[in-house]
Structure 1
Amino acid sequence: MWHVIIFFWLLYYLIKPKYSRRSLYPPGPLALPLIGNLLSVWLGLKKYKYHHKLWQSWSQTYGNILGLRLGSINVVVVSGKDMIKEISSREVFEGRPDGFLYTMRSFGKKLGIVFADGRSWMNTRRVALKYLRNFGYGTRSMELIITEECLELVKLRKTDAGQPILVNQMFNISVVNILWRVVAGRRYDLNDDRLKRLCALVMRLFRLVDMSGGIISFMPFLRHVIPGLIGFTEMKSIHSSLQAFIKETIDEHRASIDVKNPRDVIDAFLMEMSTNQENAFTEEELHVVCLDMLEAGMETVANTAVFMLLYLVRDEGVQRRVQKEIDDVIGKRQPSLGDRSRMAYTEAVILETLRLSSVAAMGVPHRALDDAHLGGYLIPKGTCLLMAIHDLHNGEFWEDAGTFKPERFLTKEGNIIQDERLMAFGLGRRRCIGEGLAKSELFMFLTHILQKFFIRIPDGDPPPSLKPVDGLTLSAKPFRVIFVER
């Protein structure tokens, strides 16, 4: 009898902490054994179509700290300016997820800048930024590179002016060239077939899953059972192609490097690897840094630029007003970044594009590095945290939020309003290191194009859809534009 009592007493005290901790976890839909909320997500997506819309719907029911269990992973979705700022500013939430989706691209490890964390991330970020700046990042020479790519893009559009052009991948190679000139010392022709294919692969990769990690992270064992059905086969093929391209680039640098005259970031990393043996970077680390630059550097900026065209082609009045500002401030000469301070309306167009498109709808996911409390709830160590950026940018605070209105970022006097609710590039130490470059690229693309062209919808085509394509980031549905020379 006593041994039965002792058994149940021990069982109670073993189980009690588990249930006590679970009771402190943020509320959310009922989680089933083993699969958690995966069934609820699958059913919810049939109704809402987009992950960020589903999270928004559940957050309206359960609160601005939404607790989910996706397979074996805790996922918490935070909403609202204050909660997002808290997640972004606390060191305990600076981690990155270690699910299979995030490590399969980096040799099964947490490497690079985007999805690494801890000392490794801080060291890699510091060295990468140092070398980027050494080779012109953030300097006048970077502006010259951006200008050259804008001129090449305008030249290409002049060859097909007056013809309907599918524009969804129009900016891909231009954006790659701008950063790749610094990273790898090379640019590619805008009609380069290999680069077109590689860029298309990156765009496809970003459409296969959402930022929570997808089924391949929640139930990674399924890659051995139904690899094609969950997208693993396609993702593996895409990563192999990208890795082959980067390996070839690094090998070319190693074969031709002059240690007395490094040409670019890859040369600098190779020299660092050969001279600093104690804290040497590995080739895998360099490989993933290059992959981060290629993927993240291209996909988000190119997508945002396409959305900018989409909003402009739908609103002739906005186009005309930007063109008037270009004519008044710049005239016939080439646009420059120095013009930005005198072109408030053009800047407002860029800010409104970043707000309305919100291509990083849930930001880049964070991870709790230890048990932590947030808003009265317990966030267990290892929890993946998603930030409802799209909801923040399209919520009730913004009057007529679904309408493209650049003037919402202007005072009555015509000065720019820097609203703290616009968090397109994140906050805190995890803020995107490419923010300055991205904004410069968008300004230069916009002014160079509208200085030379008026853009319109081809006869017979419907206005391009405002509804995006879901994925790691949001992208525009395919649409065509005619560039009419001014």
Structure 2
Amino acid sequence: MWALIIFILFLIIFKELIQKPPSYPPGPPLVPLLGNLLSVWLNLKKFKYHHSIWQNWSHKYGNILGLRLGFVNVVVVSGKHFIKEVSTRDVFDGRPNGFFYLMRSFGKKIGLVFSDGSTWNKTRRLVLKSLKNFGYGSHTMESNISEECRALIELRMSETGKPVTVNHMFDVSVVNILWKLVAGKRYDLKDEQLNILCDLITRSFKLADMSGGILNFMPFLRYFMPDIIGYTELKSIHDSLYTFLKNTISEHRASIDLKNPKDVIDMLLIEMMAEKKDLTDEELQVICLDLLEAGVETVSNTAVFMLLHVVRDQKIQKRLQQEIDMEIGSRQPSLTDRNRMVYTEAVLLETLRISSVAAVGIPHMALDDAKLGNYLIPKGTFILLAIYDLHNGRHWKDPQIFRPERFLTKEGNLIQDEWLMPFGCGRRRCIGEGLARSELFMFLTFLLQTFNLKIPEEDPIPSTEPVDGLSLSAKNFRIIFEPRVKFYTGDIEI
């Protein structure tokens, strides 16, 4: 009798493990317990990148791809129409509650990136108000960017004629631009501590893809094989990052002037001291982590891809320099130059398209059962947006070729293609978009105004194939920065 009951229970559980929810989108067959995880692992050997697996399956099963990774329902959405629909509907505005995402924020949905609902609304308003109070989006930001560009030029000048590995050359610069507002401090580009912190962030972004990997879908494995699945390293990295942030916050607490806050951390601390107490210590730390990480991977990686494509094509480089010489000359580049520098803007748009470093964006989560197309997306489903496929798919002619002219009309005017969504859309659109675009423009114009970029004779042509991770990055390559002309930039003679 008991054997029959156990057998029936086993059949019920087995059926549940291999059966998808009613009206769930189509996808590859499921395996008990693992779902599609085994298929993903096997296909990685063939396709190399997670986004390529999603792209291949989407072409087979449709623009709304239904998966189960471990015990979690995951839907991959492709195509402009469905990506915009997911990005603009409140029911899909959630952030995943998977272990991988929450372990960086004390197991809670707090901060800017992985919070949702009223918590996200409150935090976003508070942080934006604080940033704008210290010049975010104003001329102050341009001054910060220019300062970092000049420092970068000076550093490259000190290594004239020597091949430089450029994959992390923008890391500290990008942190400084925002961190000066957040913590009232900038670091020397060779600062050992900040370079270590940037390296920690880079390592954390390489331990999984944006779906969260095995830590998300089978988190219990951290008790049995923590080293193998990356849990040990990820926890160590977060511990080190939070040690830095706790020390930074403690320094602010010790020197704070309640009537004259000097930066964002001061303002947030004052908010915490108010009677409302809407902000906790943990929330402040996670907000600082979000702001510290903001751009270190996405903006820095995009800037590196930008250099990669420019150094690979001397015609593009020369045309950029001609526009810089014509529109800027020997004075310092300014953001006001952007309106006149159409080809430079086209190069930036093409960089954002072809690199697509945020290959699936930041995952969404269904806050309730919801219809999408002809399918039902169950509450709690993780949703990945196939941004890489959107930018490198059938809409674009020769998508694998770096061709800035695709963003120019025959008359030489700039085209804003609605298929290009590097910063997302809807309420969750990246709040740092304006800053990121400004940084890329200034990095490019400052560098090409000053240097010719060359591949060392002994090196191969840099590969355009990315390295997989939470964001895509370029494989290591080197550039020789050869000075073009002598001119003055601020107080720096070049």
Q: TM-score, normalised by structure 2?
A: 0.94
Q: Which residue type is aligned with residue 160 of structure 2?
A: A
Change (3 A) 1:477 1:14: closer
Structure 2 equivalent of residue 478 of structure 1: 476
1:21 deviation in Å?
Answer: 7.3
Matched, 1:376 2:378: no
Residues 13-92 of structure 1 mapped to structure 2, 5 A cutoff: 22-92=21-91
Name whichever of 22-31 and 69-78 sits farther off: 22-31
Matched, 1:123 2:122: yes
CA distance in structure 1 between the partners assigned to 2:413 and 2:261 by the alignment: 43
1:266 deviation in Å?
Answer: 0.2
Structure 2 equivalent of residue 409 of structure 1: 407
1:279 deviation in Å?
Answer: 4.6
Q: Which runs of 4+ in 1 moved over 6 A?
A: 12-21
Q: Which residue type is aligned with residue 159 of structure 1?
A: S
1:15 deviation in Å?
Answer: 12
Structure 2 equivalent of residue 99 of structure 1: 98
Identity of aligned residues (%): 65
Change (3 A) 1:124 1:353: same
Give secondary structure in 1 for the equivalent of 2:480.
Answer: strand
1:297 deviation in Å?
Answer: 2.7
Change (3 A) 1:160 1:279: same
CA distance in structure 2 between the partners assigned to 1:339 and 1:172 by the alignment: 25
Q: Which residue type is aligned with residue 270 of structure 1?
A: L
CA distance in structure 2 between the partners assigned to 1:128 and 1:13 by the alignment: 49
Match of 2:454 among 415, 434, 456: 456
Structure 2 equivalent of residue 331 of structure 1: 329
Q: Which residue type is aligned with residue 369 of structure 2?
A: D
Say whether the 8 Å CA contact 1:24–1:377 is kept in structure 2.
Answer: yes
Say whether the 8 Å CA contact 2:17–2:35 is kept in structure 1.
Answer: no
Q: Which residue type is aligned with residue 363 of structure 1?
A: G
**CA offset digits 1:261-306 (Å, max 9, x no partner):** 100100000000101x335200111110110011133211000000
**CA offset digits 1:340-377 (Å, max 9, x no partner):** 00000000000000000000000110000000010110
1:22 deviation in Å?
Answer: 2.0
Aligned residues: 476
1:33 deviation in Å?
Answer: 1.4
Change (3 A) 1:162 1:279: same
CA distance in structure 1 between the partners assigned to 2:21 and 2:148 by the alignment: 54
Q: Which residue type is aligned with residue 349 of structure 2?
A: L
Q: Which residue type is aligned with residue 80 of structure 2?
A: K
Residues 204-223 of structure 1 mapped to structure 2, 5 A cutoff: 204-223=203-222
Match of 1:348 among 339, 346, 349: 346
Say whether the 8 Å CA contact 1:97–1:365 is kept in structure 2.
Answer: yes
1:23 deviation in Å?
Answer: 3.4
Structure 2, unpaired ranges of 5+:
1-7, 485-494
CA distance in structure 2 between the partners assigned to 1:279 and 1:389 by the alignment: 39
Q: Which residue type is aligned with residue 24 of structure 1?
A: S
Matched, 1:445 2:433: no
Root-mean-square deviation (Å): 1.8
Please state which structure has a larger fraction of its residues in helix.
Answer: 1
Say whether the 8 Å CA contact 1:274–1:280 is kept in structure 2.
Answer: no
1:162 deviation in Å?
Answer: 0.8
Give secondary structure in 1 for the equivalent of 2:297.
Answer: helix
CA distance in structure 1 between the partners assigned to 2:213 and 2:35 by the alignment: 13
Change (3 A) 1:260 1:407: same
1:152 deviation in Å?
Answer: 0.4
1:14 deviation in Å?
Answer: 13
CA distance in structure 1 between the partners assigned to 2:215 and 2:27 by the alignment: 22
Say whether the 8 Å CA contact 2:18–2:32 is kept in structure 1.
Answer: no
Matched, 1:301 2:299: yes
1:17 deviation in Å?
Answer: 11
Give secondary structure in 2 for the equivalent of 1:161.
Answer: coil
Structure 1, unpaired ranges of 5+:
1-7
